[in-house]
Amino acid sequence: MKFLNTLLILLVSRFTGMAQQADIEMADQFRADGKIYVVIAVVLLILVGIFIYLFNLDKKVTRLEKEVSKNA
Amino acid sequence: METLKKNYWKIACMLLLIYTIWAGFMGKVPRQAILNETVRNLYFHVTMWFTMIFLLGTSVYHSIQYLRKSDIKSDLISNAYVETGLVFATLGLVTGSLWAKFTWGDWWTNDPKLNSVAIGLLIYLAYGLVRSSMPDEQQKARISNVYNIFAFVIFMILIWILPRMTDSLHPGNGGNPGFSKYDLDSNMRLVFYPAIIAWTLLGYWITNLRIRIKKLAYLISENE
């Protein structure tokens, strides 16, 4: 019985703890509207663009390296 | 196939960063007052510093290699690591300043970690000065590599040890904290650790390109 009581208290305190947490304002509405996906899409596009640029740069340096080692 | 084998880590870097952005925006974070959603900056601001430490640390390794073997290539490599490391330091500082404005209330607080970083960056500024003011190649390399080793040690003491001896606004500072004291729950760890690897790989990649360009320039100047 004592064990059950402790368990009950633990559970209740856990839920009240969560209820307190829910008061804190987060961007819940923004997420619910689905607008967060727009932000993610924009950032991902920029990221992919940067990566394409980096891969190209890498290729260019490799080409130069080959050319220089041929001439040396 | 050969190129894929050699470049798999670049693709890994890209995939990890895509994951970081996705999980960084969508993942569950604890609801905390003041911080609110900005806690997600952990994946972007803090990782800049981790990357910087990796880059500067690697540069020290190559500095030691230079001092042991006097191979000018090690000097070029070490220098490239410092340069990219400082780019990430600047990014960390600027993003930190922005984050501080909206959580701590000011662009620049007198937090020991902030002042330490400011001193650290000045130390590295002097590194750049040393390098640019010496015409003799060998002398420049030897002095700046010795300087680099000391700069790194002092910088690490400044940002890791000194802020812990006083009060700091940064989490995990002041007293003797462990990682568990970071307001980091297991959901955030799932994003934070991959994010560190991802940004570090990106820093490594950019440095790699820089090193190769430096080596090319060196070879060309040799042949002239």
pLDDT tens profile B43-58: 999 999 999 999 999 9
Residue B34 located in a structural domain: no
In order, the DSSP letters of B141-190 are HHHHHHHHHHHHHHHHIIIIIHHHHS--SSTT-SSS--GGGSS--HHHHH
Percentage of residues of chain A with pLDDT beyond 70 = 68
Position B223, amino acid:
N
Res B33 pLDDT > 90: no
In order, the DSSP letters of A30-72 are HHHTTTHHHHHHHHHHHHHHHHHHHHHHHHHHHHHHHHHHHH-
- CB contact under 8 Å between A47 and B21, yes or no, is yes
Residue B2 located in a structural domain: no
Residues from chain B that touch A51, judged by Cβ atoms under 8 A, are 14, 17
Residue B73 located in a structural domain: yes
pTM of the predicted protein model: 0.86
Mean pLDDT (chain B) is 90
Minimal Cβ distance to A58: which of B33, B36, B209: B209
pLDDT tens, B153-168? 999 999 988 888 877 7
What is the C-alpha separation between A57 and B61, in angstroms, rounded? 26
Residue B32 located in a structural domain: no
Minimal Cβ distance to B212: which of A65, A71, A72: A65
Minimal Cβ distance to A26: which of B25, B36, B220: B36
Q: Does this complex have an ipTM over 0.90? A: no
Q: What is the pLDDT of residue B28?
A: 86
Q: What is the pLDDT of residue B169?
A: 81
- Determine the length of chain A: 72
What is the C-alpha separation between B167 and B142, in angstroms, rounded? 39
CB atoms within 10 A of CB A39: 12
Number of domains within chain B = 1
Q: Can you give the residue range of the structural domain that contains B102?
A: 41-223
